[in-house]
Structure 1
């Protein structure tokens, strides 16, 4: 349960950064080379799944792949407070759950 909660917190932070980058308002954010590529990939592949103006839809495999490979602690360092003006937090949770649904283990014989 704690791991599930921590994963959702990381994804909330990820989509916060996605919203900030997607909005084009980067005046308050300095991004180092260490996770710049992660954030660009997140914006390119996932921004459309969390925008308020678009319908809720399943994220692409490319989006999930970027999310699963991103350096989330680095991405989380670049979060500001104006997130909910840009993105839909219900969609954030939906995408996080979709991309991190753990398949059931095979039955023990």
Structure 2
């Protein structure tokens, strides 16, 4: 009795096709694993540590805790405009608040029209206050 193979292919051809499919599948799985491991979103974390360091360096005078507020210089503004200031708020450490004024950080972000966390949320250890209610006008 003679065995019939799919589409008239011989046994050796079927084995070669299956081996090729296995190799392709292994490569695809390897590529998927590589993509998952190298993607920051895979770790559920947005990477803004580099942005934070740039803002700290370029905006040092504006963010200083002591002394009067200093308007940001053009290089500071450029860095802030390209940074995720809300993300940076979430990664400012308490020990950095010794030399970074969070109030000035928030003012700098607002000056550059960059979003910051909503009222009630934290920026570093500072909780962003809700806006004061507008007092009712007096009728005379």
When normalised by structure 2's length, the TM-score is: 0.37
Which of the two has greater helix per residue?
1
Higher CA-based Rg:
2
